Amino acid sequence: MKIACIRAYQVDLPLIEGSYNWSGGKSVSVFDSTIVAVEADDGTVGFGEVCPLGPAYLPAFAAGVRTGLREIGPSLIGWDPRELGALNLRMDSVLRGHPYVKSGVDIACWDLLGKNSGLPVCTLMGGRHGDAVRLYRAISQQSADEMAAKIARYRDEGYTRFQLKVGGDPDIDIERIHAARDILPPSHRLVADANTGWTQHEAMRVVRATKNLDVYIEQPCETYEECLAIRRGTDHPFVLDENIDDLGMLLRARSDLAMDVVNLKISKLGGLTKAKQARDLCVAMGIAMTLEDSWGGDIATAAIAHFAHSTPEAFRFTSTDFNSYVTVCTADGAPQRMSGWMKASDRPGLGIQPRMDVLGDPVLEIR
């Protein structure tokens, strides 16, 4: 089996709630997603998706995905898509860095491998653990009362994990955290995710003002060193996300005991192959994980489901279903939430069938 063609499709994904707001006044109302199709010489096609959270979250932007594919795509024609280690080395040799560019190709090749072998991706990634994957709901930044009301609604739909978008004015964030925790039972988990938005002294104020609450603190500051200082100044469970972008940083954070949970995003790491490396290392080191991506629709959600469902339950803190946040369906067969849970498909590959009428004509084709 050889790669014969790589195509990219651009799809807009409007949000059901109208907008998604997080630290620093950043906001997105329509996500720009790239769906990657890798066609083998036997006609089999695998699909992947890359959807950055706007251009100001991580060092990634939507048009950069498609520009990067133009750079690496010609060098992949003729390579065996099932040899994922070799393929990733090839992509890294052609383009230094830019892991998000490579993620869609890697996911599509996992889909091809599954279709070729007749197995679901989660089976190929280590096997299915448990009946379903527990989801969290991200609560976009608004007033304390509005955010609490959204939590109550999603709680009633079956969600038991909530990621509260903070990282703004610390006094308002303290109100947000208290209001959210007040309406949740003790068994529900609340994560206050600042997305790097606080300075070190602001973060310290927040953790002290919420000292007696059951809340996780996620990525309070921009730099690793600032986050480590806050970690050492609080006994709240601690999550790192933006700073952990490769195995070296993961090992450094483990050595420093800098976190209790790590957020592994597929495209931040460069695809399912490298995300699996980080996941397996976390399991070996006893670190729990949030398993997800930056954003996306049905295909990204399918990849997340296989990634998460193949992770041992003891280390699976939570995951997410991005296709339930957007108004456009791009593929049939994608996981659908059920009372705050989702399952990976048991069909070969990712188990999805893209809606080509929604994808439209490719914006890029490489042969």
* 267 and 319, same domain (yes or no): yes
Q: Enter the pTM of the model.
A: 0.97
The CATH number assigned to the domain holding 21 equals 3.30.390.10
Whether residue 68 sits in one domain with residue 44: yes
> 48: part of which helix (H) or strand (E)?
strand 45-50
pLDDT (tens place) for every residue of the chain, 367 residues total: 999 999 999 999 999 999 999 999 999 999 999 999 999 999 999 999 999 999 989 999 999 999 999 999 999 999 999 999 999 999 999 999 999 999 999 999 999 999 999 999 999 999 999 999 999 999 999 999 999 999 999 999 999 999 999 999 999 999 999 999 999 999 999 999 999 999 999 999 999 999 999 999 999 999 999 999 999 999 999 999 999 999 999 999 999 999 999 999 999 999 999 999 999 999 999 999 999 999 999 999 999 999 999 999 999 999 999 999 999 999 999 999 999 999 999 999 999 999 999 999 999 999 9
Q: Are residues 130 and 33 in the same domain?
A: no
Block residue for tokens 């994922």? 84
Could you read off the pLDDT of 232-268 as tens digits, one per residue? Answer: 999 999 999 999 999 999 999 999 999 999 999 999 9
Domain that holds residue 76: 3-118+354-366
Domain of 156, CATH number, reads: 3.20.20.120
Torsion of the alpha carbons at 237, 242, 248 and 253, rounded to the nearest 10: -20
User: DSSP state, 363?
Assistant: S
Distance, CA of 20 to CA of 295 (rounded, Å): 11
Please, which residues have CB within 8 angstroms of residue 137's CB and are 6 or more apart in sequence?
151, 154, 159, 161, 162, 163, 320, 340
Q: Do 217 and 169 fall within a single domain?
A: yes
SS3 (DSSP) at 181: helix
Same domain assignment for residues 84 and 173: no
Spatial distance between the Cα atoms of 286 and 254, rounded to a whole number of angstroms: 10
Q: Does 342 share its domain with 296?
A: yes
> What confidence score (pLDDT) does residue 331 get?
98
| Whether residue 148 is found in the same domain as residue 241 | yes
CA pair distance 269, 272, nearest whole angstrom? 8
How many Å is the maximal CA-CA distance in the chain?
61
For residues 196 and 106, state if they share a domain.
no
pLDDT at 356: 97
265 is catalytic: yes
Catalytic position from the list 102, 115, 150, 165: 165
- Find out whether 45 and 58 touch, Cβ atoms under 8 Å: no
User: Which residue in the list 102, 265, 268, 343 is annotated as catalytic?
Assistant: 265
pLDDT for position 237: 98
Task: Quote the number of domains for the chain.
Answer: 2
Q: Are residues 232 and 102 in the same domain?
A: no
Together in a domain, 329 and 346: yes
Are 303 and 297 in contact, with CB atoms under 8 Å apart? Answer: no
Are 14 and 128 within one domain? Answer: no
Residue 249, pLDDT score: 98
Same structural domain for residues 190 and 232? yes
Please give the structure tokens belonging to residue 230: 């806050």
What's CA 180's distance to the chain center, in Å? 23
pLDDT given for residue 282 in this prediction: 98
**Helix, strand, coil in percent for the chain, rounding step 5:** 40, 25, 40
Two tokens, residue 172: 């308002």
